[in-house]
Amino acid sequence: MKIAITGKGGVGKTTLCAVLARLFVRSGEDVFAIDADPDSNLASALGYRQSALDITPLIRMKELIKERTGASPDSYGKFFRLNPEVSDLPEKYSVNLDGIRLMVLGTIYKGGSGCACPENALLKALINHLFVERDAVVLLDMEAGVEHLGRATATGVDAMIVVVEPGLRSIETALHIRSLAHDIGIKRVTAVGNKVTSDRQKRLIVEHLEGIPVLGFVSQNDALIDADLENRAAFEKNERLVAEVEKIKEQLDRTALSSRPTG
Ligand SMILES: Nc1ncnc2c1ncn2[C@@H]1O[C@H](COP(=O)(O)OP(=O)(O)OP(=O)(O)O)[C@@H](O)[C@H]1O
Ligand SMILES: [Mg+2]
């Protein structure tokens, strides 16, 4: 199952990604958790004890990028391979955290044509490899938008989860993301409502999402603040959170099943 998690800043993407990763490992799956956020913190949400800064994002590995894309300093950004070999990278550059294989990618550079394209080529090829070639659960923690996903990768996405919180700004972002996702061919765009404190908020989220199916809700959860301060994984000592995300996972399993061709 291949899942891309997106949404406005601070809504809870990384937290959801970490708990889902844990639950998929618990049900016996081979799991890759991929951090593609510019402000990487999936490692700490997973309870990685050492400084999360220990893991160098792939996008900063200049030698590797040069080796794989053939971009030399003088040809930089002009001549390079668009389809670099990446199939060995998940094994070489992942950190195993209790069965969750974490990779920290860094973010796709945006902007004009002179932008650091060899880096983007490597990251996109890697994400495509994970989403299309690998038979594993892949959870991609990304920023708002679809920059990391191309059309080829989109075919591998079983579900895109847009995390929203009670508030119109994150919902507007979700609607925008849905249209970007549809443009590149991602069909299954779903939502999770996070930080909710009442049934009324749940109802309003559903109403405002204009038909984006809601997989489930996660309540406002103050124990997450303690987990953060004590440098614990988001899912440790937090039964309520785990139970709520378990329901979301069940919904995801159903969604993915129904998207598989039958017969
Ligand atoms: N249900 C919740 N209840 C209370 N706090 C939460 C909840 N979910 C997430 N948080 C807290 O909100 C903050 C942002 O969460 P998180 O890092 O998961 O969001 P994000 O969408 O990944 O943010 P960013 O856009 O910065 O990557 C964190 O401090 C997290 O502990
Ligand atoms: Mg995040």
The closest residue, in CA terms, to atom 31 on ligand 1 is 224
Sole residue written with tokens 């891309």: 4
What is the CA(141)–ligand 2 centre distance, in A? Answer: 7
Mutate to test the pocket of ligand 1, among 177, 222, 224, 238 (most ligand atoms within 8 A of CB): 224
Judge contact between 73 and 111, C-beta under 8 A: no
User: How many whole angstroms separate alpha carbon 98 and alpha carbon 86?
Assistant: 24
Measured in Å, residue 18 CA sits from the centre of ligand 2 at 10
Q: Does residue 232 have its Cβ closer than 6 Å to ligand 1?
A: no
CA of 263 to the centre of ligand 2 (A): 39
**DSSP classification of residue 8:** S
Task: Enter the pTM of the model.
Answer: 0.94
Residue pLDDT tens, the chain, 263 long: 999 999 999 999 999 999 999 999 999 999 999 999 888 889 999 988 765 457 889 988 989 999 999 887 666 556 788 889 999 999 999 999 999 999 999 877 776 544 558 888 899 999 999 999 999 999 999 988 888 888 899 999 999 999 999 999 999 999 999 999 999 999 899 999 999 999 999 999 999 999 999 999 999 999 999 998 888 999 999 999 999 999 999 999 998 767 655 44
Q: Interior CA angle at 260 toward 259 and 263, to 5°?
A: 130
CA 89 → CA 94, 105, 168, 249, distances in Å? 8, 11, 39, 27
- Class at the top of the CATH hierarchy for domain 2-259: alpha beta
